[in-house]
Amino acid sequence: MVGLFSRFSRWFQTIFKRKHLKVGIYGPPNAGKTTLANRISMDWLGEEVGSVSEVPHETREALEKREIVIEADGARVTFDIVDTPGVTTKIDYHEFVEEYGLNDEEGRERAREATQGIIDAIKWLDKVEGVLLVLDSTQDPFTQVNLTILGNLEARDLPVLIVANKIDRQESSPASLRAAFQKHTVVPVSALTGFNMENLYRTMVKYFR
């Protein structure tokens, strides 16, 4: 019943052009979700959303930044951006200890919090009205997690915009992402350098409103 109502609500809003909506930033760990959220928030609010780190699962709870007004092509849409923890099927604290130099206790604690964060991220899917799926364009797009998230968004009938991040890196291949997910709109950006963010804003306003 709730699903029916939200679907009707979305349809109604689509007809009359939405002005305000909640968008979740989803993706696998270390894809650059928080960097993107920070970039968007800094560009329009001048505030950061969360801390960024090379260590995976830096974001272990969903962070929401409200009332981000984005203007593009004469249109104006207000977004509530929700930065979510990276979704994955496994968390091994040894990775934090051996590859990133955390001590054993820190690694275990981080792993424990990360598991809770993933559960939170999945729960947030019920509340968001659109999704920015951030994928690392230097990685293989055909991971099961990517497909699971995307399949879930499709099943929920949520509008999704794929952000091919890290295109500032030489090994990036946004074309691979485009080819892999032809059904969806893919916008290549570098959240770190801000390259092509204008294009993302234009697409967001056009796509989500």
Partner 1 sequence: MEEEGEPQQTGIQINLVSREMLMDMDPAGRIRFIVDEIKKGKVLVLERGLTAEEEMELIKMTMSEIDQDSFIGVETPGFSVDLQRPTLFQRITRRVPPPRMMVVGPAHLLRTIRKDGKMVSTWLVTKDKFTPAADAGESIIKDTEELDEGFVPSADVEGSAESQPKEGPGTDGEDEAPVPVAPPSASITGQYQKGNQHPPPPSYSEDTRTVESPDMESPDMETLNTASPEENPGSVDSSRTNAADNNKPDNLPLPKPPKGFTMEWNDETSRNAGNGPRQTGNRSTPTSQVSDRENALVPGKNGTLVPGKNGTLVPGKNGTLVPGKNGKRMPATEGEQNPPSGNTSADSKLPPPGAPSNPVEGDNGFPTPPALDPENKVPKEKGFFKRFRKKEEV
Tell me which residues touch partner 1 (CB under 8 A): 87-95, 98, 108, 111-112, 115-116, 118-119, 122, 125, 139-144, 147-152, 154-155, 171, 173, 175-176, 179-183
Q: Which one, 17 or 90, has the nearer CB to partner 1?
A: 90
> Are 132 and 24 within 8 A, CB to CB?
yes
In whole angstroms, how close is the CB of 165 to partner 1 at the nearest point? 17
Please list, residue by residue across 167-201, b when 16 or more beta carbons sit within 10 angstroms of its beta carbon and e when fewer do.
Answer: beeeebbbebbbebbeebebbbbbbbeeebbeebb
**Secondary structure element (H or E) that encloses residue 160, with its range:** strand 160-165
Q: Which one, 35 or 176, has the nearer CB to partner 1?
A: 176
**Single-letter residue type at 112:** R
Distance in angstroms (rounded) separating the CA atoms of residues 75 and 85: 30
Q: Which one, 116 or 193, has the nearer CB to partner 1?
A: 116
In whole angstroms, how close is the CB of 164 to partner 1 at the nearest point? 13
In whole angstroms, how close is the CB of 151 to partner 1 at the nearest point? 3
In whole angstroms, how close is the CB of 102 to partner 1 at the nearest point? 13
Q: Which one, 91 or 187, has the nearer CB to partner 1?
A: 91
**Location of structure tokens 């989500």:** 208
